[in-house]
Amino acid sequence: MRPAARSIAALLLAGCSLLRAQPAEPLRPRAVIVTYFEIGEDTGDRPGELQYWVERDHLVRTIEVPGMTRPVRANASGSEIAVAVGPGNIKPGINLMALASDPRFDLRESHWLINGIAGISPADGTLGSAIWTDFVINGDLAKMVDSRELPAGWPDGFLSLDARTQSDPKGGAGWEDDVRKWTGTEAKANRRGNVIRLNQELFRWAYELTRNLTLPEDAPMRELRLRYTGFAGTKSGPRVQTGANLATEIFWHGAKMDAWAHRWVQFETDGVAAFGTTAMNDSGALLALQALTRQGKADWNCVLLLRTASNFDMPPAGLTAAQNLAAEKHGEYTAYLPSLEAAYQVGHKVVQAWLH
């Protein structure tokens, strides 16, 4: 072969190599479903938070992403994906950063539905209820005195990170993050990231879209609900409602901690938010989405958070907190399967609106 011909052939081969090296078009899902745990496999066994989404929305594709706890599940077109990113508050943040860093996904215009089961106070609701979340409060960012050493007059052992006593104002002198002064409706977090407000317009839209859905209550759920006499939240069956989520790494339980949760949500939000559910993941997930928004990789104003009540956060009359905690085991809560069903029924109505 002549030198000129060899040069032309080499250029053609190089061009073909470049064509082969071009990355595939990234998936641009319109809906991203974020859950926190799965018990076993993604399909075919006892479900966790992910499984109903995979099976019912036909998320048949499995995509391994470096740095993620479990593979991403996607439908055939890539318009919907689902992930399980827990447990705890730290792993969700790491998982979502890994997902958005993978060039196979373009999440800039995606809508996000974070959903999972949670504890609920009998003062506020009952098992199987679905709670759209307006605020997330990280209950771990605090000072604490052991309950056996409480000063006189303290209802619990928690106080602000800046405080010397419970009577000190939140944040100390010059604190700028008074939630009562937050304007607009967009997603927002204070400087510590321990108080997060979701997009209020999207939150209200989701609630109005789903508020009249009928949610299941089986016989064990009803029987347990009626044992909580004198509580406003247990006078009727499950429904769609709204409230704040208190996120802590500790799975706490009992009437005294329930009282703290109500006080702490009010304290950290300057009286703006009301306690709705207790879980352990949402601060990490939302702060990751805030960071990804700043990087131009996501939009946390397109995020909704739905929690469904699998268990009460305190015992009924006749049981101690320890006895009730032992009875309500993870994956075996009284309303475990109904709460997963409620999460899918309510959440799917929103996802369908996004996809069509």
- Answer whether residue 149 is part of any domain: yes
- Answer whether residue 21 is part of any domain: no
**Largest interatomic CA distance in the chain:** 97
- pLDDT value of residue 19: 46
- Answer whether residue 35 is part of any domain: yes
Mean pLDDT by 10 residues, the chain (356 residues): 52 48 83 97 96 98 97 98 95 98 98 98 98 97 94 94 85 74 96 96 98 97 97 98 97 97 96 97 97 98 98 97 91 95 98 96
Residue 87 near residue 280 (C-beta atoms within 8 A)? yes
- pLDDT value of residue 12: 45
- pLDDT value of residue 3: 53
- Answer whether residue 269 is part of any domain: yes
- pLDDT value of residue 329: 81
Domain count, the chain: 1
Dihedral angle over CA of 258, 129, 71, 81, nearest 10? -130
- Answer whether residue 19 is part of any domain: no
- Answer whether residue 6 is part of any domain: no
d(CA 84, CA 37) in angstroms, rounded, equals 5
- Strand-pair partners of 72: 63
Q: What CATH number should be reported for the domain holding residue 120?
A: 3.40.50.1580
- pLDDT value of residue 18: 45
- pLDDT value of residue 167: 87
- Answer whether residue 282 is part of any domain: yes
- pLDDT value of residue 7: 56
Place of tokens 């705890």: 88
> Residue 78's domain spans which residues?
26-355
d(CA 241, CA 207) in angstroms, rounded, equals 7
- pLDDT value of residue 177: 83
- pLDDT value of residue 331: 82
d(CA 42, CA 117) in angstroms, rounded, equals 17
- Answer whether residue 12 is part of any domain: no
- pLDDT value of residue 15: 52
